[in-house]
Amino acid sequence: MSDLIDLLQWPAMAASLLAAWLVGSRSAQRRMLGFRVFLGSNVLWVVWGWQDDAWALIVLNCCLAVTNIRGILKNESG
């Protein structure tokens, strides 16, 4: 199981890169998708960090998740 969780770092990285690309879009729909992909990558990083005892990474991704939720809310209202 540990080996499978260890592999999560690669989709987490890919999702983070894709999300950053989408968030930089002029299209509101793409930006919203980017924030949602970022939230998915936050979950993947937390799962990976948990099994590796990477507490700073877990805290960072929890904080980033809050900023991504803020991004979603700001994009919905404006």
- Structural domain boundaries enclosing 44: 2-77
Comparing C-alpha atoms, which of 38, 43, 5 is closest to residue 22?
Answer: 38
**pTM for the whole structure:** 0.90
Distance of CA 4 to the CA centre of its chain: 19
**pLDDT value at residue 32:** 96
Q: How many domains does the chain have?
A: 1
**pLDDT value at residue 4:** 86
Q: How confident is the model at residue 59 (pLDDT cuts 50, 70, 90)?
A: very high
**pLDDT value at residue 78:** 61
| Average confidence (pLDDT) over 59-71 | 97
Q: Would you state the structure tokens that stand for residue 45, as one six-digit string?
A: 């990083």
**pLDDT value at residue 2:** 79
Q: Would you state the structure tokens that stand for residue 77, as one six-digit string?
A: 């209202």
- Mapped onto helix, strand or coil, the DSSP state of residue 25 is coil
d(Cα 54, Cα 69) in Å, to the nearest integer? 23
Q: What mean pLDDT, rounded, does the chain reach?
A: 94
Neighbours of 65 (CB within 10 A): 18
